[in-house]
Amino acid sequence: MHDPMHDPMALDDDELPPAFRKRRGGVGGGRVWLWVTAAAALFGAILAGVSTADFISHLDRQVHSIHCSFIPGAGAQLGDSGCRTVMMSPYSSLFRDSMWGGLPISVLALAVFAYLVYRAVDLALAEDVDKRHTVFLLAATALPVLMSVIYGYISMSVIGTVCKVCAGIYVCSGVLLVGAFLSHRNAGQPTQWAHGGMGGTYARWFGEGVAYVGLLTVLYIGLAPVSEKSLEGCGTLVTTEDKSNVMIEMGTRGGDKAIAVLDPLCPACKGFDNRMEASGLMKKLDLDVVLFPLDSKCNWMVKESLHPGACLVSQAMLCDKDAAPKILAWAFEHQQELLEAAKKDENNVKRRLREEFPSVASCVGTAKAKNKVNKSLRWAVKNALPVLTPQLFVNGKRVCDEDTDLGLEFTVTKMLEGGRR
Amino acid sequence: MNPAMRTLGLAVLGIVVPAVCVVVWMGRAEKEMLAANDATADVALASASEDDYCSPRLKKVLRRVAGACGLIDGAGRGCKPGDAKNVAALSGTDFNTLFVPLSHRASIVQFDAEQVELDERAKSLVESAWSEQRGASFFFVVARASPDGNASYNQQLSQQRAEAVLNHLDQRFQDPDLRGSVGLLWLGEEYAQLDKEFCDWRRSREGDCTTKDINRSAFVAWIDCQI
């Protein structure tokens, strides 16, 4: 049942009382802006869809290319990109401790944009639209704008990179707001008969929006694939014994013992470290690091140096274990330039280390330092670890490689819960 | 069209399209997750090295020598010439030939006549050789003496030379694995004397090198064989 006094759009002209027919308000020049709003919402929905599809594709725990372009569906990349960094950051989804990968923000964005498409098209097709209707649309478009501002800020100031798909969504949100504003400005005033309150209509429209978000959320959570393997882990350590004193304490004070196997010049380790830091997991773990440089200069298990210079940085960390967390942070920060410098001449890295950390100057390059790194590699041999980095062990149980990115928080949280049972 | 129907149609269409997409994407992800192999299955596991020169014959000799000389059980007691000759079951020349492929890994630490102390260059060479362990499992120290003097004295001399190398490594590196990794053989003058060709190998002294000089030595090398 529709009440024309409250919602005249719900009725055809011939259904209205004759006295109302020729006095209905109109959107006038605002209609074109409603279509602009609808188009912006549609474009935003497509971009949010692309982002959601990329996120969901990773729920199979494998590595996939990620679309990173302003053009929806274009620019799929397998390697590092701003979009990958953003997606792997803890800000890309909610409730990461409770479900593998969490609930992606892009799903919520998809629902909101889909709703705005529906609402804008419905208004654009309606014969009578006045400011009472367009004001709702204007208010609704404030949500994606607000989220864009928040996420744009996080992206720039916390994550330090911008994802092109996200930037596209921010632009769409801006256009949405402008379109909704101009629609509202050009909309007619309510007609004489339409003086009734819009509270019920607003509540219904708001409810529809909530239903859109709720439905997609429930669908996502209900269908997200679950892997028992993530909880069981991928193997256990043969020994956590450290006779050769190669483990480096990272200064974390959490209760549960964890060991990270890292290469200081491995980009994946840098990303892993960032994720660990941002996720707050560091506070829950008593973390030690074992160095496993993938550099053939010291590591006989790799045929060529994947990360030249990593042996030297590892030597420096083992030379002064108190300074090791600082050396690691420095190596991660200057990773690319150190790799480039080592490709030209390893002595460049040695020089940089000596300049930055005078406490290791007389130690790096000595037989004793080389021996220490060798002992670290031998710890990996004793445990028959896979020749890859990073690796994380929680209470002796190895976190599967596929769980060290999107599923990190969920997997580690569940492992910690399991360990306490 | 009835506006209410239009609104309803749009509302349904608006949610069904993304919902169908989510269902399809999720289905695909689950299918691929189930089909995916263990991601680490194809990744090599960390292990000690096994170089190309590790022929079955070399490994057999190494295993017998290492076992008989207490290396495999970690006792590190060492082998005297008679033991080495018996367990190797090879002529001295054949024994030395087995080590030829190790030329890039071996160093020869030289001593003065009748001396057992390591000079600075000898110490440096031993440290350098030890620090180049890489994936090797065993470090052999094969000490000898030149044929001057009597055999019993030379046997004792070569034993002290081998132990001088071990003691220096122990002092310098304080490595808990050292005793279980180092195999000592002292051959005196009786077995497997080095010929002059070994003067071309990496050694602690430069300049002239006679057969006597090269046998007043300890041959040190990491063996990249899993025995």
- Taking the alpha carbons at both ends of chain A, their separation in whole angstroms is 56
Tokens matching residue B177: 């694995």
Summarize pLDDT for B70-116 with one digit per residue, the tens. Answer: 665 555 556 666 666 676 777 888 888 888 888 888 999 999 999 99
Summarize pLDDT for A225-263 with one digit per residue, the tens. Answer: 888 777 788 889 998 889 889 999 987 776 788 999 999
pLDDT at residue A94 greater than cutoff 60: yes
Q: What is the pLDDT of residue B35?
A: 83
Query: pTM, whole model, 2 decimals?
Result: 0.77
In this complex, do A301 and B46 lie within 8 Å of one another by their Cβ atoms? yes
Q: What is the pLDDT of residue A303?
A: 87
Q: What is the pLDDT of residue A419?
A: 59
The closest of A314, A265, A256, A306 to A289, measured between CA atoms, is A314
Instruction: Over range B179-191, report the average pLDDT.
Output: 85
Q: With bands split at pLDDT 50, 70 and 90, how would you rate the model's confidence at B175?
A: confident
The closest of B80, B97, B164 to B126, measured between CA atoms, is B164
CA distance A251 to A266: 21
The minimal CB distance from B17 to the residues A57, A114, A300 is found for: A114
**B13/chain A closest Cα distance in angstroms:** 8
Q: What is the pLDDT of residue A224?
A: 93
B12, B22, B179, B182: best to mutate for the A interface, most A CBs within 10 A = B22
Among A140-149, A379-388, B88-97, the minimum mean pLDDT is found in B88-97
CA distance A393 to A416: 11
**B7/chain A closest Cα distance in angstroms:** 6
Q: Name the residue with higher pLDDT: A345 or B3.
A: A345
Among A8-17, A361-370, A398-407, the minimum mean pLDDT is found in A8-17
Q: Which residues of B touch A1 (CB under 8 A)?
A: none
In this complex, do B11 and A118 lie within 8 Å of one another by their Cβ atoms? yes
How many CA atoms within 13 Å lie on the side-chain side of A161?
Answer: 17
- Taking the alpha carbons at both ends of chain B, their separation in whole angstroms is 86
pLDDT at residue A351 greater than cutoff 60: yes
Q: What is the pLDDT of residue A18?
A: 41
Most distant CA atoms of chain B, gap in Å: 119
Q: What is the pLDDT of residue A38?
A: 96
Mode of pairing for the β-strands spanning B106-110 and B138-143: unpaired
The minimal CB distance from B43 to the residues A57, A216, A387 is found for: A387
* Residue type, position B201, single letter: W
Q: Which residues are CB-contacts of A382 (< 8 A; sequence separation ≥ 6)?
A: A238, A239
The minimal CB distance from A386 to the residues B28, B45, B135 is found for: B45
The closest of A166, A157, A152, A153 to A84, measured between CA atoms, is A166
Residue of B nearest to A116 (CA): B14
User: Is 0.85 exceeded by the ipTM?
Assistant: no
pLDDT at residue A23 greater than cutoff 50: no
The minimal CB distance from B18 to the residues A114, A211, A371 is found for: A114
Residue of B nearest to A371 (CA): B131
Question: What's phi and psi for A29, nearest 5 deg?
Answer: -65, -10
Instruction: Over range A344-349, report the average pLDDT.
Output: 94
Q: Which residues of B touch A215 (CB under 8 A)?
A: 15, 19
pLDDT at residue B3 greater than cutoff 90: no
Q: Which residues of B touch A368 (CB under 8 A)?
A: 131, 172-173
The minimal CB distance from A371 to the residues B4, B17, B173 is found for: B173
